[in-house]
Chain A
Amino acid sequence: MKLLIKGGRVIDPASGKDSVGDVYVSDGKISDSFSKPEKTIDAKGLVVCPGFIDLAARLREPGGEYKATLESEMDAAVSGGVTSLACPPDTDPPLDEPGLVDMLRRRAKALARARVYPVGALTLKLKGENLTEMSLLAEAGCVAFSQANVPLADNQVLWRALQYAATFGFPVWLHAEDASLARGGVAHDGEVATRLGLPGIPPFAETIAICVILELVRATRARVHLCRLSTAGGVELVRAAKREGLPVSCDVGIHHVHLSDMDLGYFDSNCRLAPPLRGQRDRDALARGLAEGVVDCVCSDHTPVDEDGKHLPFAEAEPGATGLELLLPLTLKWGAAAKLPLALTLARITSDPARILGVASGRLAPGAPGDLAVFDPAAALRIVPEALKSQGKNTPFIGHELEGRVRYTVVAGNVVFEG
C-alpha cells in the first residue's frame, strides 16, 4: 500500500525537523517520494508526526476482561494516536511464562492496530522470590522485565535479578517505592492527607528505593528504567545518577505532571493513583524535569478500572486512571505550559520512549516503520465517559476541555483510525 500524507506540518522530533511538507509510506515503511499513491490523506492544517509510543498501558488481558479487553483498549490506543505500547506484566496470571506472552502478542497482532510490546515479569507470579525465565521470555517477545506496581521487598532478590538481567543485557523497569514505608498508605503524606484523614505514603518511600536501586546499578551495571517518578527528590537523584554516567532512565505518568494532592478535593477516587499524586512542588519538579530531559519521557500509565472499582471510599478504591486517549492532549498542555517547541514536546511521546524501548519507530527517517499520527493541535476535545473508547472511563480530567484531536493514525502504512 502506497500512502501519501500531503501538505501537513511535518514534525520529526528525532531530527528536529518541523516544516510543511509531504510524508510517503510504502511497504509499511517511511519512504522517499513516489508518484501514484494508492491513498492520499490531506493533512493541510494538521500536524504529521511519528505515532506515539506509550511505555505503560494496561490492556487487562489476560484475567481482567471485565475491566477491559484487548479490542477496546487497542481501539483506545489508536484513537489516541498511540501506535506502540508497552504493557506491564501485572495481569492475572502475570506475564511470567513464554506461552502467555506469545498468546498476547498473537492476539494483538491479529487485531492489527497498535504494536504491543509486553514487559515480562521479573519474578515468578511477581512474588519477588524466584526469577523468571528471562531469556525464554525475551525470545517470546518481552522487551524488558518488571515487577509493575508489585513491591519487591527482598533486596537480595532485586540484586540477583539485576545481576542476571545485566548478564544478558535485558533492561529492568522498576517502580521505586519502598514497600515497608508505603505500607497502608493511599495518598501523599502531607497536609491534604492529614486534613482528609488518609494514611500517607511519605516521599522518602520513593527516594530511599531509588537510592537502593542506584547502588545496585553501580554494583551490577544493569540497565534500569525507573517508572512513574512522583517526587522532586526522585528527579534530583536521577539527575545526579545520569551525571555520574549510570545506565538509568526514567519516566513520569501524564497525570503527575498536571495534578497534585490538592486535586483529591472531597475524596475524588479518580485521583486515587499509584504512585500517589504528590505536592505541588513535586508536580512542578516533574514537569520541569521532563522539559529538561532528566525525565526521559511521559506515559499514559493507562489503567482501566471498572465502575465498581472506583465507587468506593477513597482508600478502598482501585488505583489507576484511563489515559491512552488523553496522552496527546495532556502532553500538548504540558508542553504549552513549559513554552517548549512542539517538536520537543512530541519527542517525549515519540523518539524518547522509542530509545528506551529500543525500537526503530518514533521517527520519520526513510526506512523507519510507517507509524504515524496526524492530529489537529487546536481542536477541542471534551473528556466525557461516553466519548472514550477505553472500557476504563475514570480519569481526573472528566469534564475538562483539552486541545489536540487525532484525525488519522497509521500503523505499518495502514490507516487504523480516522476521526
Chain B
Amino acid sequence: MQRNPQLNANGELQHLLSIEGLPRELLLQILDTAESFVGVTEREVKKVPLLRGKSVFNLFFEPSTRTRTTFEIAAKRLSADVINLNIALSSQSKGESLLDTVANLSAMHADIFVVRHNSSGAPFLIARHVKPHEHVVNAGDGRHAHPTQGLLDLFTIRHYKKDFTRLTVAIVGDVLHSRVARSLIHGLTTLGAPEVRVIGPQTLLPAGVESLGVRVFHDMRSGLKDCDVVVMLRLQNERMRGALLPSAQEFFKNYGLTLDKLSVAKPEAIVMHPGPMNRGVEIDSSVADGPHSVILPQVTFGIAVRMAVMSIVAGN
C-alpha cells in the first residue's frame, strides 16, 4: 500500500489533499488550531505573523469567488503574500500543461499552492511534483474532495453540538457530484459520528455510496427524522439538462428543505449549506434565514479553518 501522500515521514500534514485517511488526532489538531484563530478574526487588528515572508499562490483552474476569497483572507491574516492566478483564463487556454504551470510558479518561489481543479485527483498529481518545502492545499478537485470545506463543516458542527459521538447527520441532495459531501462524510466517520445519512434520488447518489459508511434514504421525511444536523448540498442548474432530474421545481417538491420537512428533525437541529445557495431549489428562504440556519457562521469559521490548515502545513 502506498503511503498517504499528504503525510510526511513523521506522519505530519505535508499537504492537505483529502480528509480521507487522516487520523482523528490530526483532524482534532486542525479544529483546535482553528479555534485559536477565531479570536484573531474578531480582533481589531486581524493579523498574526505566522506566515510572514511566505508566498501563497491561489491556483484556480476552475472559477470560484467565495473559496478563493476566503483563502486569500486567511493567508493575509497570517501575514503571507497572496498571489491569485485565474488559470482558467490564462496559460491553460494557451495549451500549457498543468505540471508546466506548476513548475513555472514553483520557480517563482512559492510556499503554498492552493489548488482548485475540475478534475478529480489533480492536487495529488501536483503534490507528487512539487519541491519538498512546498505545500499543496486542495481547494476542491472535481467530485473528489473539498477538505477545507469539510473541515469547516466539522468545525461548525462541533461548535454547536460539541460531541460527534451522539449525532445523526443527514446530507441532502446531489451527492453524486459533490466533493463537499465526500469530504464531510470521511470527517464525520473518522470523528465517530454514529449515523451519517445521505438523502436523494438514485440518480444523484453514486454507486456503492453505502461503502463510505452512510445510510441511504430516498425519502426526505424518513431521512430527516430525529437528525441533529442537516447539510444541504448545492444543486447546479446544469443537472437539469441531462437525464438526472426533470426540473428544479420537482426537485424542490421532493428534496427542497422547508420548515415543514425540517419539523421531523430534532427541535434544536442545525441547518448547513456550503454555498452558494439556490433558494427555492434545494432550500426554502424561511429555512435559510431561519433560526436553525448556521450558514453564515460557517463562512466565518471557514476563514479560521483555512488559517489553521495553512499554518499547520507550512510548519511541517
> Which residues of A are at the interface with B, using a C-beta cutoff of 8 A?
189-191, 193-200, 202, 265-267, 269, 308, 311-316
Contacts and interface: CB of A to CB of B under 8 A. Distances in A.
Contact of B145 (A194, A197, A311, A315): A197
A314 B119 contact: yes
Interface in B1-41: 1-2, 5, 20
B18 to A, nearest CB: 9
Contacts of A194: 206-209, 211-212
Q: Give the residue among B20, B144, B212 with the most A Cβ atoms within 10 A.
A: B144
Interface stretch (B105-113, B120-128, B281-289, B290-298): B120-128
Q: Give the residue among B97, B144, B182, B206 with the most A Cβ atoms within 10 A.
A: B206
B158 to A, nearest CB: 24
B312 interface: no
B182 A313 contact: no
A312 B128 CA distance: 12
B2 A200 contact: no
Nearest to B206: A194
Interface of B: 1-2, 5, 20, 97-99, 117, 119-122, 124-125, 141-145, 179, 182, 206-209, 211-212
Nearest to A310: B125
Given A197-B179, A197-B182, A190 B120 contact: no
Q: Give the residue among B98, B99, B125, B142 with the most A Cβ atoms within 10 A.
A: B125
Contact of B125 (A197, A199, A267, A308): A267
A198 B120 contact: yes
A195 B121 contact: no
Contacts of B142: 197-198, 313, 315
B122 A266 contact: no
A191 B210 CA distance: 8
Contacts of A197: 120, 141-145, 179, 182
B120 A195 contact: no
Contact of B122 (A193, A308, A313): A313
Contacts of B145: 197
A380 B20 CA distance: 37
B20 A195 contact: yes
Nearest to B123: A313
Contact of A316 (B2, B119, B206): B119
Given A195-B182, A197-B145, A313 B208 contact: no
A308 B2 CA distance: 23
B269 to A, nearest CB: 27
Contacts of A198: 120-121, 142-144
Nearest to B207: A189
A202 B207 contact: yes
Contacts of A265: 1-2
A191 B211 contact: yes
B208 A191 contact: yes
30 contacts: A189-B207, A194-B208, A195-B182, A196-B120, A196-B121, A197-B120, A197-B141, A197-B142, A197-B144, A197-B145, A197-B179, A197-B182, A198-B121, A202-B207, A265-B1, A266-B2, A266-B5, A266-B124, A267-B120, A267-B121, A267-B125, A269-B125, A308-B97, A312-B97, A312-B98, A313-B98, A313-B119, A313-B121, A313-B142, A314-B121
Contacts of B20: 195
B294 to A, nearest CB: 26
Contacts of A313: 98, 117, 119-122, 125, 141-142
A311 B179 contact: no
A265 B18 CA distance: 13
A194 B120 CA distance: 11
A269 B121 CA distance: 10
A266 B15 CA distance: 14
A200 B206 contact: yes
Nearest to B128: A266
B171 to A, nearest CB: 14
A65 to B, nearest CB: 20
A191 B207 contact: yes
Contacts of A191: 207-208, 211
A200 B207 contact: yes
Q: Give the residue among B97, B182, B208, B212 with the most A Cβ atoms within 10 A.
A: B208
Nearest to A267: B121
A311 B2 contact: no
B168 to A, nearest CB: 22
A190 B119 contact: no
What 7 A-B pairs come out closest when comparing CB atoms?
A197-B144, A267-B121, A197-B143, A313-B119, A194-B206, A191-B211, A191-B208
